[in-house]
Amino acid sequence: MAAQSRIRAGEIAVAMPPATDAGLVFIGRIHTPWTSRTDAPRQGRPDGPVCRIEVFEPWVAALDGLECYPRVEVLYWLHMSRRDLVRQSPRDDGATRGTFALRSPVRPNPIGTAIIELVRIDGAMLLVRGLDCLDGTPLLDLKPDRGGFTPLAPPRTGDSQSGTHG
């Protein structure tokens, strides 16, 4: 179990506070060729293999319009990661850096982000390139990449559900 994975020389774990400030719902599952971190690429590439992102009900209706965006931001839950390290040693050589200075999956809230190339949407299934996560990774969110995104709405009227972020 990854949550008990060993601590390398120089790494520092902290007493992890209870992770109860907010709750997540897994909205789908990511299917990739990689079943262990040994196989997975270090970073996703736009010319990597086509992977599949499956969206669960009741969220499939929320995909409408996403097919217009060639690049999509994907958020997912790094479900195999321990969460309590504040210093990590990527090379396992005793040299450590702070967790927030790394894109390691080990972090207090193990949320991965990727910008993927959207190949096609078939019903509840997205075909994409550019992922590097493990097969079975839980999906958290999909949104148009901010680079190619122009906000549609006029100036806000004060309703808190207006607007965009980032």
Which residues from 37-76 bind a copy of itself, rule CB under 8 A? 37-38, 40, 42-44, 58-59, 61-66, 68-69, 73, 75
30 close to 55: Cβ distance less than 8 angstroms: no
Q: Are 127 and 54 in contact (CB under 8 A)?
A: no
Is residue 81 a contact point for a copy of itself (CB under 8 A)?
yes
Q: Which of 46, 70, 90, 136 binds a copy of itself (CB under 8 A)?
A: 90
| Shorter beta-carbon distance to a copy of itself: residue 50 or 149 | 149
User: Taking CB under 8 A as the rule, does residue 148 contact a copy of itself?
Assistant: no
DSSP codes, 87-151: EE-TTSSS--EEGGGS--S-SSS-EEEEEEEEEEEETTEEEEE---PPTTEEEEEEEE-GGG---
User: Which residues, 127 to 146, sit near a copy of itself by CB under 8 A?
Assistant: 132-133, 138, 140-144, 146
Phi, psi dihedral angles at 97 (to 5 degrees): -135, 160
**At closest approach, how far in Å is the CB of 35 from a copy of itself?**
12
What token pair was written down for 156?
């806000």
DSSP annotation of 40 reads S
Q: Does 98 bind a copy of itself (CB under 8 A)?
A: yes
114 contributes a contact to a copy of itself by CB under 8 A: yes
Return the residue of 54, 71, 102, 124 that touches a copy of itself, per CB under 8 A. Answer: 102
